[in-house]
Amino acid sequence: MKKVKIYDTTLRDGMQAEGISFSVEDKLLIARKLDEFGIDYIEGGYPQSNPKEEEFFARVRQISFQNSKIAAFGSTRRANTKAEEDACIRALLASGTPAVTLVGKTWDLHVTDVLRCTLEENIAMCADSVAYAKKQGREVIFDAEHFFDGYKNNPAYAMKVLEAAAQAGADALVLCETNGGCLPHDVCDITAAVCKAFGSVVVGIHCHNDTDCAVANSLAAVRAGASHVQGTINGLGERTGNANLCTIIPNLSLKMGFETVSRNQIKTLTEVSRFVSEIANLSPTVHMPYVGESAFAHKAGLHIDALRKNEKTYEHIRPESVGNERRFLISELSGASNVLDKLEKRKMITDKALARRILNRVQELENQGYQFETAEASFDLLIKKEMGTYKKSFDLLKYHIDVERSPEGKIITEATVKLMVDGKTEHVVSEGDGPINALDKALRKALEPFYPQLRNMTLVDYKVRVVNARAATAARVRVVIENHDPDGLWGTIGVSENIIEASWLALVDSVEYELLKTAEKQQNPHFKGSS
């Protein structure tokens, strides 16, 4: 297989995405993860830009990388300055990285209107900078900025800049689709022309996603002869982002037959994607190809029935090949096959009549506004109820919420809960930051003396969605609550015209599910439920 080198710029271009900021520790963690994944080049940033970047390069030198080369990024020398005297060039070399990436102008518009120097001086700037860095013993990657726009406007000049960089010793000529406005046919044709003109020189591609074609453009460039691809994990980047390596890598390796990272490393792709999302404090994009939580999630009963017979029917690859997993969703679109799969997965009875009863109940509840896709704990309890094996842990006698506002503007929220637990009446009061927090505290306060394992459970997320918005303030709301304990994370759901009641239903399910897990675990130490 032909090798295509992967160059990751998450730590520079990715950080230019709105709302993204990595600390030095964050960048070091990501760099280690990318090296473990098998990335060929990790671009660390712009050494001259700020003290944080300087600290990163100082600390990254102390790490021994097994698969990756660290690259520092910077501009070619300024006009009418010697390369050895240019502050940016000196900072690049002082970073001590084995590779440096020099970005140079190839669009004559940028030379005349941005750099405001002659076209000849820009060519000299690129050649001098590459030659000087090569003289210092560095691998030099030349990023030809705005190359495709430059080629369309003045192809002769754009090619002259590349020729100057190549003759000066550049190890790779990377064609940058900086504005993100090109389509795959243009990228393919222009890349092919460059590859033909420069023979054995490594040609690379760097795309932005402004037309949603960054991945397609990158693949088109490889088909045209490029053997070096730049991008970011999860497509992070300025404006609409960069080419997404989480899609490019499996497309190149699993679909097009190129060598990128090893097959074993590709199996960790989903883990890498979610790791970077976690460091960036972003919720993973569930619909992302290959690595998204929904990438292999199936909802239609027809699809699931076929998949249970032959997994190739509705999946283009095995989810395990990229470290993801298949999920069958329960909804009003479900068939009995969905429910049977859920029963089998939980090692419960395989009973088609039971599956049909459960499906009918699901469809009835979803008509009221329930959705079990993110509330599988509630679905587990529903199964138990339909099987006749569900046993309530307590009975609600009443609850009451009181909210007061003092003259000083302080809000005081108090919840009262009265329960019957094991034949005893528990009547407790708790204050909280809001009505749901107070209700949650009161419920736990009443139950923990009987079920101390509830102390292991922590509420981590609370979501409210209006189901029938046209009903205005009388609309039904759906509340989804996520809890976790040492064994994992689970979701529960409640629906009502009253937000407090919807929340109560979800809270009760979360408590009941924790107790169900505890009971099941006592019987089977390996049981972890739907989490």
Q: How far apart are CA 348 and CA 362, in angstroms?
A: 18
In a domain, 184, yes or no: yes
What's the token pair of residue 362? 């699901």
> For residue range 394-434, what is the model confidence (pLDDT) as tens digits?
999 999 999 998 888 889 999 999 999 989 999 999 998 89
Binned at pLDDT 50, 70 and 90, residue 261 comes out as very high
Q: Let me know whether 357 and 417 are in one domain.
A: no
- Judged against a pLDDT cut of 70, whether residue 523 lies above it is answered with no
Containing 471, the helix (H) or strand (E) segment is none
CATH number at residue 231: 3.20.20.70
List of residues 6+ apart from 73 with CB closer than 8 A: 9, 12, 43, 44, 45, 46, 92, 100, 101, 103, 143
Binned at pLDDT 50, 70 and 90, residue 531 comes out as very low
**Distance from the Cα of residue 493 to its chain's centroid:** 25
DSSP 77: P
Q: Let me know whether 157 and 101 are in one domain.
A: yes
Which residues pair with residue 204 across a beta bridge? 174, 228
Contact 294, 287 (CB under 8 A): yes
Contact 386, 354 (CB under 8 A): yes
Q: How far apart are CA 243 and CA 235, in angstroms?
A: 5
Binned at pLDDT 50, 70 and 90, residue 313 comes out as confident
Q: Let me know whether 318 and 421 are in one domain.
A: no
User: Which pLDDT belongs to residue 124?
Assistant: 95
List of residues 6+ apart from 275 with CB closer than 8 A: 30, 33
In a domain, 487, yes or no: no
Q: How far apart are CA 255 and CA 233, in angstroms?
A: 19
- Judged against a pLDDT cut of 60, whether residue 528 lies above it is answered with no
- Hey, is 99 helix, strand or coil? strand
User: Which pLDDT belongs to residue 119?
Assistant: 94
In a domain, 490, yes or no: no
User: Which pLDDT belongs to residue 151?
Assistant: 96
Q: Among 261, 287, 314, which residue terminates a domain? A: 261
Compute the C-alpha angle 225/230/232, nearest 5°: 145
Q: Let me know whether 371 and 398 are in one domain.
A: no
User: Which pLDDT belongs to residue 517?
Assistant: 84
In a domain, 482, yes or no: no
For the chain, how many structural domains are there in total? 3
Please name which of 453, 447, 463, 455 lies closest in space to residue 508, comparing C-alpha atoms. 447
Contact 350, 343 (CB under 8 A): yes
List of residues 6+ apart from 455 with CB closer than 8 A: 448
Please name which of 2, 526, 516 lies closest in space to residue 257, comparing C-alpha atoms. 2
Beta strands in 457-496 (DSSP E): 458-466, 477-485, 488-496
Binned at pLDDT 50, 70 and 90, residue 300 comes out as low
Q: How far apart are CA 237 and CA 11, in angstroms?
A: 10
- Judged against a pLDDT cut of 60, whether residue 336 lies above it is answered with no
Strand arrangement, sheet containing 395-405: 395-405, 411-421, 424-432
Q: How far apart are CA 264 and CA 322, in angstroms?
A: 9
- Judged against a pLDDT cut of 80, whether residue 468 lies above it is answered with no
Contact 102, 141 (CB under 8 A): yes
> For residue range 337-384, what is the model confidence (pLDDT) as tens digits?
556 666 666 555 566 778 778 878 887 887 788 877 678 889 889 888
Taking residues 159-171, what's their average pLDDT?
A: 97
In a domain, 122, yes or no: yes
- Hey, is 245 helix, strand or coil? helix
Three-class secondary structure assignment of 174-243: EEEECCCCCCHHHHHHHHHHHHHHHCCCEEEEEEECCCCCHHHHHHHHHHCCCCEEEEEHHHCCCCCCEC
- Hey, is 73 helix, strand or coil? strand
Taking residues 277-294, what's their average pLDDT?
A: 85
> For residue range 66-78, what is the model confidence (pLDDT) as tens digits?
999 999 999 999 9
In a domain, 424, yes or no: yes
User: Which pLDDT belongs to residue 358?
Assistant: 81
Binned at pLDDT 50, 70 and 90, residue 214 comes out as very high
What's the token pair of residue 364? 């009835």
Q: Among 432, 450, 468, which residue terminates a domain? A: 450
Beta strands in 17-95 (DSSP E): 41-45, 69-75
User: Count of CB atoms within 10 A of residue 341's CB?
Assistant: 21
In a domain, 53, yes or no: yes
Q: How far apart are CA 207 and CA 230, in angstroms?
A: 7
Please name which of 438, 489, 435, 497 lies closest in space to residue 461, comparing C-alpha atoms. 489
Q: Let me know whether 143 and 29 are in one domain.
A: yes
Containing 147, the helix (H) or strand (E) segment is helix 147-153
Three-class secondary structure assignment of 255-294: HCCCECCCHHHHCCHHHHHHHHHHHCCCCCCCCCCCCCCC
Q: Let me know whether 163 and 232 are in one domain.
A: yes
Q: Let me know whether 15 and 121 are in one domain.
A: yes
In a domain, 276, yes or no: no
Q: Regarding beta strands 139-145 and 99-105, do their DSSP bridges make them parallel or antiparallel, or are they unpaired?
A: parallel
Q: Let me know whether 372 and 429 are in one domain.
A: no
User: Which pLDDT belongs to residue 373?
Assistant: 64
- Judged against a pLDDT cut of 60, whether residue 387 lies above it is answered with yes
Q: Among 377, 405, 426, which residue terminates a domain? A: 377
Q: Let me know whether 239 and 362 are in one domain.
A: no
CATH number at residue 446: 3.30.160
Taking residues 460-469, what's their average pLDDT?
A: 80
Binned at pLDDT 50, 70 and 90, residue 284 comes out as confident
What's the token pair of residue 406? 């003092």
Q: Let me know whether 124 and 232 are in one domain.
A: yes
Contacts 24+ apart (CB under 8 A), 162-168: 162/106, 162/194, 162/197, 162/198, 163/198, 164/123, 164/124, 164/126, 164/127, 165/104, 165/126, 165/127, 165/130, 166/198, 166/201, 167/127, 168/126, 168/127, 168/128, 168/130, 168/131, 168/134
- Tell me what the pLDDT averaged over the chain comes to: 88
Q: How far apart are CA 476 and CA 125, in angstroms?
A: 66
User: Which pLDDT belongs to residue 136?
Assistant: 95
- Give the phi and the psi of residue 53 in degrees, each rounded to 5: -65, -40
Which residues pair with residue 71 across a beta bridge? 43, 99
Q: Let me know whether 228 and 332 are in one domain.
A: no
Which domain covers residue 444, as residue numbers? Answer: 394-450
Taking residues 199-217, what's their average pLDDT?
A: 96
Q: Let me know whether 306 and 356 are in one domain.
A: yes
